[in-house]
Structure 1
Amino acid sequence: MNLKEKYAELLANIGFDEKAIEKNWFDLEKAYSKKSRYYHNLTHINDMIECFEMYFDKLQFPNEVLYSIFYHDYIYVSSKKDNELKSAEFAVKILPKSSNINQKLVFDMICATQLHQHNEVEDINWLIDFDLKILARGWSEYQIYFEQIRKEYRIYPDFLYKPGRAKALKHFLEYDSIFQTDVFRKLYEKKARTNIEREVLFLT
């Protein structure tokens, strides 16, 4: 099942009609396919959905998690700090009144992808980990990732970008753990820390 089919199936399950599904897919594809998006694009969404499918049986609220995956970066402007909030507001706003999805949970899930901090709702922790799995890729793939992020912030010269990026990365290293679920900690924590430490050195 491709991304559009997965999206259409989800939206049908949570109360969208066929016309709304078609329109919303067009809008979503357009948003994630902007030329300014080198990393926060449909490839990133697809990677997260692969994680979602792998750990589906761990989730209590799979529809909310999947819907949040599709919309968590819907609005993404590198110079803004409220992308997650705006994305959450938009995701909730377009839900049909008859939708059977938990709107507050969707809102909280998408907002949680800003700070990536531990949450008492375990499904939010899974979503955060799906979003951050890129940090534990092999070094060559990780390097492509941080080069894509740099392109998204290309409006900033190196003397502004490098300290800002290093500061954000060091925040992750200060956390007791980068990943929020026991499964991801065991599998990916060490590799993610190694990659981040290496990128910080690259920036300084």
Structure 2
Amino acid sequence: MILKKIYSDLLANIGFSANEIQQNWLDLEKAYSKKSRHYHNLTHLEEMIESFETYRNKLQNPNEILFSIFYHDFVYSASKKDNELKSAEYALSILPKNINLNKQLVFDAICATQQHQHNSIEDINWLIDFDLKILAKDWDDYKIYFEQIRKEYRIYPDFLYKPGRAKALKHFLENKFIFQTDEFRSLYEEKAKQNIEKEISILM
């Protein structure tokens, strides 16, 4: 599996032992493969890493951003509000003390995937855009995405879910921009807005 190889190479590169890499991969795979995860799963990671590989040369700290991608949804529960914080804390907890990685950047990057707001650190803006690229997919793929999100929130009845989802989507439209980098804005901003507006109309 290409994902496992990218993960293993990264951890070897920053100073993990072979045994640590194997155990951490199993833990990661288990977390992202839970039955409750219809969207926030290994496929989501693969799509983000595809974007990462495309724009790697734009990043000042590619190892930190790649590590953040792998762990940004490690903890994920539809009923909780602190998934990103818990994921960031977990990501730091597995890092050996003398690791060759900027821990503060990893922590801040993962936490930034909660609000998706513009960040003073450009690497974090790239991570946010990798996470949100799904919003600009062709409509058929976008529809699959929001149906997967609905399944993750199936504990909530429509009368609670629909206004909550619409509010979250409107939040994107109320911001000056959906995407944080010039590249993603020029490529994906209009398509993402169209998809979001169309989904909101379905929810109403």
Same fold (TM over 0.5): yes
TM-score by length of structure 2 reads: 0.99
Q: AA paired with 2:99? A: S
1:56 deviation in Å? 0.7
Partner residue in 1 for 2:153: 153
- 1:62-93 deviation line (CA, Å, top 9, x unaligned): 00000000000000000000000000000011
SS in 2 for 1:151: helix
The whole-number CA distance in structure 1 between the counterparts of 2:14 and 2:107 is: 15
1:9 deviation in Å? 0.2
Partner residue in 2 for 1:140: 140
Partner residue in 2 for 1:102: 102
Q: AA paired with 1:149? A: I
Partner residue in 2 for 1:42: 42
Count of paired positions: 204
Please state if 1:203 is matched with 2:203: yes
TM-score by length of structure 1 reads: 0.99
Q: 5+ unaligned residues in a row in structure 1: which ranges? A: none
Q: AA paired with 1:119? A: N
The whole-number CA distance in structure 1 between the counterparts of 2:202 and 2:173 is: 15
Q: 5+ unaligned residues in a row in structure 2: which ranges? A: none
- 1:121-176 deviation line (CA, Å, top 9, x unaligned): 00000000000000000000000000000000000000000000000000000000
Partner residue in 2 for 1:166: 166
The whole-number CA distance in structure 2 between the counterparts of 1:2 and 1:141 is: 23
1:98 deviation in Å? 1.4
- 1:4-46 deviation line (CA, Å, top 9, x unaligned): 0100000011111010000000000000000000000000000
Q: AA paired with 2:126? A: W
Partner residue in 2 for 1:113: 113
Identity of aligned residues (%): 72
The whole-number CA distance in structure 2 between the counterparts of 1:73 and 1:105 is: 16
Partner residue in 2 for 1:90: 90
State the Cα RMSD in Å: 0.6
1:180 deviation in Å? 0.1
Please state if 1:52 is matched with 2:52: yes
The whole-number CA distance in structure 1 between the counterparts of 2:20 and 2:177 is: 40
